Amino acid sequence: MKIYKTRDYDGMSSKAAMIISAQVILKGNSVLGLATGSSPIGVYRRLIEGYAGGDLDFSGVTTVNLDEYRGLTPENEQSYRYFMNTQLFGHINIKPENTHVPNGIVQDAELECTRYEDLIRKLGGIDLQLLGLGNNGHIGFNEPGAAFIPDTHCVDLTESTINANKRFFETADQVPRQAFTMGIKTILQARRIVMIVSGEGKAGIVKEAFFGPITPNVPASILQLHNDVHLVGDEAALSLL
Ligand code: GLP
């Protein structure tokens, strides 16, 4: 694992955006795995600047997002599809048909999971997966539990995640109770992983994830087994390492 310590959120965003930019420049038809949450917003801003400045071309890039709330339409402002359209896709020259997010409003959850997993396989797998880190150690929406779940699946969100994410909704009741997420194997099969972490609130869980035991109770701890992980964090988030 490579660790990059930056002064602040902006530094984290710019460093992670550089790694992603290098990927896109070196391989114009990269498959990027993308994330939502507050951590990647600055990264996406930098990528948009790179495109606007003429340094980045996304016309050959395909994206697959980690996760999506179950029950939210793409037009819902809290859906991850809406987030991606407004924070990134709408501002760069990626082809809309090359952007993929699990469909939150399908009837048949199992079918959607199989479709998404097959899609990633047909794309040839993920070249670079961007990850945030949940307060409880989750990646995507792989919540702490008794076992690592390998493939894309539908999960019941934990109280801790509902609490952490309620800031984006008017009330906690509006936070969906379920979500689709890539599984642990789906994520681990990405050829390169870039995790971004910011703020002292993440310091404890960052230490547990990367220097504690590998356990499904801290889903991100499995990343210790991946051979190309780049952990990009600000001083506050990395302060306990
Ligand atoms: C959500 C997302 C995760 C994300 C996490 C951390 O639960 N499903 O993919 O990494 O939140 O979010 P933040 O970056 O806002 O701390």
Dihedral Cα 122, 126, 132, 135, nearest 10 deg: 60
* Helix count and strand count (H, E) for the chain: 7, 10
Residue 43 lies in a domain: yes
Helix (H) or strand (E) holding 44: helix 41-52
Residue 241 lies in a domain: no
Residue 240 lies in a domain: no
- Residue 140: phi and psi, rounded to 5, are 60, -125
For ligand 1, is residue 161 a contact (CB within 6 Å)? yes
The yes-or-no answer on residue 67 being catalytic is yes
Residue 238 lies in a domain: no
pLDDT of residue 222: 98
Residues 142-182: tens digit of each pLDDT: 999 999 999 999 999 999 899 999 999 999 999 999 999 99
Q: Coil, strand, or helix at residue 28?
A: coil
- Mean pLDDT over 50-56 rounds to 98
* In 88-217, alpha helices (H): 109-122, 159-165, 184-188, 203-211
Distance of alpha carbon 175 from alpha carbon 19, whole angstroms: 32
Task: Return the beta strands (E) in the chain as ranges.
Answer: 2-6, 31-34, 62-65, 67-69, 99-100, 128-131, 153-156, 178-181, 192-197, 229-234
Closest-CA residue, ligand 1 atom 5, reads 134
Which pTM does this prediction carry? 0.97
Measured in Å, residue 140 CA sits from the centre of ligand 1 at: 7
pLDDT of residue 32: 99
Structural domain that includes position 36: 2-196+203-231
Residue 236 lies in a domain: no
Q: Residue 222 has which token pair? A: 């499995």
Other beta carbons less than 10 A from residue 191's beta carbon: 15
Residues 118-135: tens digit of each pLDDT: 999 999 999 999 999 999
- Mean pLDDT over 37-41 rounds to 97
Residues 91-120: tens digit of each pLDDT: 999 999 999 999 999 999 999 999 999 999
CATH number of the domain that 167 lies in?
3.40.50.1360
C-beta of residue 69 within 8 angstroms of C-beta of residue 36:
no
Number of domains in the chain: 1
For ligand 1, is residue 117 a contact (CB within 6 Å)? no
| Measured CA distances, 67 to 97, 207, 217, 237 (Å) | 17, 24, 19, 23
Residue 239 lies in a domain: no
- Mean pLDDT over 52-81 rounds to 97
C-beta of residue 12 within 8 angstroms of C-beta of residue 232:
yes
For ligand 1, is residue 134 a contact (CB within 6 Å)? yes
Residue 169 lies in a domain: yes
For ligand 1, is residue 13 a contact (CB within 6 Å)? no
Give me the catalytic one of 138, 142, 153, 234. 138
199-226 burial code (b ≥16 CB/10 A, e <16): eeebbebbebbbeeeeebebbbbbbeeb
Residue 87 lies in a domain: yes
